[in-house]
Amino acid sequence: MIFLEDKIWFSPLNVIHHFRELENKLSDKEKSSKGFRKAEEMYSVALMLVGIIKSQNREYWLQMVDDKSSSPDVKTGTYQQKEGAKVPDFTIQDVEVVDFDENSPEKSLTDFLKRTKLSNTKKSYDSLTTILCRVKSSIHLPSFNQMNQELKSTTFSGPVMILGRTSVDEEKPVYKIAQIHPTVDLITEFNVLDELLNKKYNGVLSLKRATTFSTEYRAEEKHFPFEKISFAD
């Protein structure tokens, strides 16, 4: 039986489109708000999902966690057919987002992660949480295998993903994702515009509570991916 408190899920294209609209219409003050930072986190997850969809050839959806909640930042969902099941499950993964740039105290991305999201002394996350680290500036990184080895000492068993832009050409927004923990996987480079032009879904998905698998896709759904957050101080 499917039971979700929030049954509305958005496609990555929907989130990316609305975030770009927000950037153009919000004031500088509003862009410094906690709400805008949460919207940017959801945008980062949407970019990651574009790469994962390309890699796995399977659709993913996402939703914002209530503005009053401190964790997780975003939830993602996808259909998975489990062995012996008559209908596919809608499986959910929490995502915690963190940014790494030249202003971070550590010069090493893995040291930065160990101090923040992967700290053994701070809040720990379960294996159903994905840690997404967005590299927000031109920083040289070691190989994925080296970073994987450097994270072996952490107790976190869930996926750690990194996301970074590999092209400075505004007409060619190329990004790269990679899973660097617990194994190296999902290494994918993609042009966001090219991938989104080929997307099958651009609206929202509404999940229904039922004894059998039931969904309704509505391209004209009048929901807004950031409707749960405020952009005021």
What are the domain boundaries of the chain?
Answer: 8-218
Once rounded to an integer, what is the mean pLDDT over residues 143-166?
A: 96
CA dist 223 → 5, 34, 94, 165 (Å)? 16, 21, 21, 29
53-62, 192-201, 223-232, range with greatest mean pLDDT: 53-62
Interstrand relation of 129-135 and 89-100 (parallel, antiparallel or unpaired): parallel
The DSSP string of 37-101 is: HHHHHHHHHHHHHHHHHHHH----EEEEPPTT--S-SEEEEEEE--TT-SS-EEEEEEEEEEEE-
* DSSP-based three-state secondary structure for 34: helix
Confidence of residue 212 (pLDDT cuts 50, 70, 90): very low
pLDDT of residue 123: 73
- Per residue in 95-150, pLDDT tens? 999 999 999 999 999 999 999 999 877 777 988 999 999 998 888 899 999 999 99
**Rounded Cα–Cα distance for residues 228 and 64 (Å):** 7
Average pLDDT, the chain: 86
**Rounded Cα–Cα distance for residues 93 and 62 (Å):** 9
Is residue 4 over pLDDT 60?
no
pLDDT of residue 216: 56
Please report the sign of the dihedral spanned by the C-alpha atoms of residue 200, residue 36, residue 180, residue 75: negative
Is residue 202 over pLDDT 90?
no
Confidence of residue 209 (pLDDT cuts 50, 70, 90): very low
pLDDT of residue 229: 83
Does the predicted model carry a pTM greater than 0.75?
yes
| Percent of all residues in the chain with a pLDDT value above 70, rounded to a whole number | 88
- Per residue in 65-90, pLDDT tens? 876 666 789 999 999 887 777 778 88
Buried b (16+ CB within 10 A) or exposed e, 48-66: bbbbbbbeeeebbbbbbbe
The DSSP bridge partners found for residue 77 are 61, 92
**Rounded Cα–Cα distance for residues 42 and 63 (Å):** 8
Residue type at position 100: F
Helix axes 34-56, 12-25, angle to 10 degrees: 150
pLDDT of residue 211: 38
Is residue 210 over pLDDT 50?
no
- How many Cα atoms sit within 13 Å of 29 on the Cβ side? 2
Confidence of residue 197 (pLDDT cuts 50, 70, 90): confident
* DSSP-based three-state secondary structure for 179: strand
- Per residue in 181-196, pLDDT tens? 999 999 999 999 898 8
* CB atoms inside a 10 Å sphere around CB 44: 24
